[in-house]
A and B are shown apart, each in its own frame.
Chain A
Amino acid sequence: MEYVTPFDERVREPIAHAPRPEDLRGRTVALLDINKARGAEFLDRVEELLREEGAETVRVAKPWFSRPATGEQVAEIAGRAELVVEALAD
């Protein structure tokens, strides 16, 4: 018996991972805070550790943890940093 499926069964075009650098030294890492409670403290320590590895850091935040970032926000972050750590989803 054939049924009309409620699912969208199209397969999305695969997206390749971004090419990775060899090391962190001299790279700018954006610490993207999703703006849920306690995430900033977690990122404070990650930032410290990244700086110890010789990375530069920049702090950014989304206005809403409950929404994906807008296209403009994503483009802006991509323009400011070479690497991104996004936290903390609980």
Chain B
Amino acid sequence: MSCSVHDVIRLEALGVPTAAVGTEPFVDEALEQASLLGMPGYRAVLIPHPVQLLTTEELHARADDAFAGIVARLLAHPSLKGVHNVGTMM
């Protein structure tokens, strides 16, 4: 997760919106690494762990579940207050 966060923050600094996807146990690593790199408001998209043993169909289902969160990161500023999709996230 740490290396992905390095990549996406450099892309954001170049003006490219990003969504980094990892698994749930790495939630705090993603937050800490983003904060250390100067973007404490960055939020990764997290899916349930583990993934290595899933079938392809199950992985696709994970992607289906995560897609709304991915689109939200790409289109919405992660640090906006009261973002329109708070309702769905809550």
Contact = CB atoms under 8 A, between A and B. Distances in A.
B20 to A, nearest CB: 5
Contact of A17 (B36, B51, B77): B77
A41 B21 contact: no
What is the size category of the interface that chain B forms with chain A?
A: 35 or more
Interface residues of A, number: 47
Main secondary structure of the interface of A (DSSP, over half): loop
Contacts of B7: 32, 62, 68-69, 74, 86
A74 B11 contact: yes
Interface of B: 1, 3-4, 6-23, 26, 36-42, 44, 47, 49-52, 54, 56, 59-60, 62-64, 66-67, 70-71, 74-79
